[in-house]
Structure 1
Amino acid sequence: MTGWSWSWRSCVALASQQQQQFRLRKRRFKITHHRLLGLAFLCSFFFFLFSPKIPRSPNTHQFADLRNLLGVPNTLNVITNFPFLVVGVLGLVLALEGGFFSISYQAEVWTWALFYAGITGVAFGSVYYHLKPDNNRVVWDTLPMMVACSSLFSSLIVERIGQRIGLCCMCALVFTAFTCVVYERIYDDTRLCLMFQLILPLAIAVAAFVYPSNYTHSRYWFLSVGIYLLAKFEAIADRKLYRTNDYVISGHSLEHLSLALIPFLLSVMLLYRERKFKRLGDLKDQL
Structure 2
Amino acid sequence: MVWMVNKQMQIGKGKRSHIWLGALLCWFCFMLVTPKITLSHKPHHFADMRNFLGVPNTLNVITNFPFLVVGVVGFVLSLQGCFFNISLKGEVWGWALFYGGIVCLAFGSAYYHLKPDDGRVMWDTLPMMIACSSLFSSFMAERVGQRAGLSCLFGLLFAVLLSTVYARTFNDLRLCMMFQLIPCIAIPAMTFLYPPKYTHSRYWLWAAGVSLLAKFLAVLDKKIYNANRYLISGHSLEHLSSAAIPVLFAIMLIYRTIRFQRLGDLKERP
* Aligned counterpart, 1:6: none
Q: 2:264 matched to 1:283?
A: yes
Amino acid at match of 1:164: R
CA contact (8 A) 1:162 1:285 kept: no
Aligned-partner Cα distance in 2 for 1:32–1:161: 10
Q: 1:118 aligns with which of 85, 101, 121?
A: 101
Q: 2:175 matched to 1:155?
A: no
* Aligned counterpart, 1:213: 196
* Aligned counterpart, 1:74: 57
SS in 1 for 2:192: helix
Q: 2:235 matched to 1:252?
A: yes
Aligned-partner Cα distance in 1 for 2:210–2:233: 17
Larger radius of gyration: 1
1:95: how far off? 0.5
* Aligned counterpart, 1:192: 175
- More displaced 10-residue stretch of structure 1: 75-84 or 50-59: 50-59
CA contact (8 A) 1:84 1:119 kept: yes
Q: 2:41 aligns with which of 58, 75, 78?
A: 58
Q: 2:86 matched to 1:103?
A: yes
Runs of 5+ unmatched residues, structure 1: 1-19
1:126-166 deviation line (CA, Å, top 9, x unaligned): 00000000111010101101100100010111111111111
Aligned-partner Cα distance in 1 for 2:74–2:33: 42
Q: 2:247 matched to 1:273?
A: no
1:27-79 deviation line (CA, Å, top 9, x unaligned): 69x96785465244224225536865331221100000011001000000000
1:5-45 deviation line (CA, Å, top 9, x unaligned): xxxxxxxxxxxxxxx9xx99xx69x9678546524422422
C-alpha change, 1:43 and 1:235, in structure 2 (3 Å) is same
Aligned-partner Cα distance in 1 for 2:116–2:70: 24
CA contact (8 A) 1:118 1:148 kept: yes
1:192: how far off? 1.5
1:250: how far off? 0.3
Aligned-partner Cα distance in 1 for 2:118–2:158: 21
Aligned-partner Cα distance in 2 for 1:222–1:49: 29
Amino acid at match of 1:141: D
Aligned-partner Cα distance in 2 for 1:110–1:234: 31
Amino acid at match of 1:157: M
Q: 1:41 aligns with which of 3, 24, 32?
A: 24
Taking the TM superposition and a 5 Å limit, the aligned residue runs for 1:223-238 are 223-238=206-221
Amino acid at match of 1:129: Y
- Identity percentage over the alignment? 57
- More displaced 10-residue stretch of structure 1: 31-40 or 210-219: 31-40
The two structures, once aligned, show a CA RMSD in angstroms of 2.3
C-alpha change, 1:52 and 1:283, in structure 2 (3 Å) is closer
Q: 2:70 matched to 1:87?
A: yes
SS in 2 for 1:210: coil
1:271: how far off? 0.5
SS in 1 for 2:128: helix
1:197: how far off? 2.5
TM-score (norm 2): 0.89
* Aligned counterpart, 1:135: 118
Amino acid at match of 1:89: V
C-alpha change, 1:51 and 1:214, in structure 2 (3 Å) is closer
* Aligned counterpart, 1:239: 222
CA contact (8 A) 2:135 2:183 kept: no
1:198-224 deviation line (CA, Å, top 9, x unaligned): 244311221223211111100100000
